[in-house]
Amino acid sequence: MIKMPIPCRRCGSADAEVYIPYARLSLCPECFRDFYVKRIKRTVEEFRMFRTDDRVGVAVSGGKDSTALLHGLKEAFPNMEFVALHVDLGIEGYSEECREKVEKLTEVLDVELEVYDLKEELGFTIDDFKRTIYRRKICSACGTVKRHIFEVLAGRVGVKVLATGHNLDDIVGVMLNNFFSGNWSQLVRLRPVLEPVEPNQTLKVKPLITTPEDENLLYCLYSDLPFREENCPHAHKERISRNREILEFLSKRNPNFRHQMLRNFLKLIPILEEAIEKPKYRRCRICGYPSSSDVCAFCRRVELVRKAKGMNIKTEKA
**Mean per-residue pLDDT pooled into runs of 10, the chain (318 residues):** 78 95 95 98 98 97 98 98 98 96 97 97 95 90 96 96 96 85 81 89 97 97 95 76 77 90 91 82 92 94 92 55
Biggest distance spanned by C-alpha atoms of the chain: 73
DSSP assignment of the chain, as one string?
-PPPPPBPTTTSSSB--EEETTTTEEE-HHHHHHHHHHHHHHHHHHTT---TTSEEEEE--SSHHHHHHHHHHHHH-TTSEEEEEEEE---TTTHHHHHHHHHHHHHHHT-EEEEEEHHHHHS--GGGGGGSTTTT-HHHHHHHHHHHHHHHHHHHHT-SEEE----HHHHHHHHHHHHHHT-HHHHHTTSSEE--SSTTSPEEE-TTTTS-HHHHHHHHHHTT-----SPPTTS-HHHHHHHHHHHHHHHHS-TTHHHHHHHHHHHHHHHHHHHSPPPPPEE-TTT-SEESSSS-HHHHHHHHHHHHHT--------
State residue 273's pLDDT score.
Answer: 83
Task: Let me know if 244 is exposed, middle or buried by CB neighbors in 10 A (0-12, 13-18, 19+).
Answer: middle
Q: Please state, in angstroms and rounded to a whole number, the distance separating the CA atoms of residues 61 and 227.
A: 9
Q: How far apart are the first and last CA of the chain?
A: 67
Q: Which residues pair with 204 in a beta bridge?
A: 162, 194
Question: Minimal CA–CA distance to 62: which of 122, 161, 123, 146?
Answer: 146
Q: Please state, in angstroms and rounded to a whole number, the distance separating the CA atoms of residues 28 and 6.
A: 9
State residue 318's pLDDT score.
Answer: 47
State residue 189's pLDDT score.
Answer: 85
C-beta of residue 187 within 8 angstroms of C-beta of residue 121: no
Beta strands at 25-27 and 18-20: parallel, antiparallel or unpaired: antiparallel
Q: Which fold has domain 47-229+259-278?
A: Rossmann fold (3.40.50)
State residue 75's pLDDT score.
Answer: 98
CB-based contacts of 179, cutoff 8 Å, min separation 6: 187
In this structure, the dihedral spanned by the alpha carbons of residues 153, 156, 160 and 161, taken in order and rounded to 10 degrees, is: -30
In this structure, the dihedral spanned by the alpha carbons of residues 160, 164, 49 and 220, taken in order and rounded to 10 degrees, is: 130
Question: Minimal CA–CA distance to 247: which of 190, 183, 170, 179?
Answer: 170
CB-based contacts of 313, cutoff 8 Å, min separation 6: 286, 299, 302, 303, 306
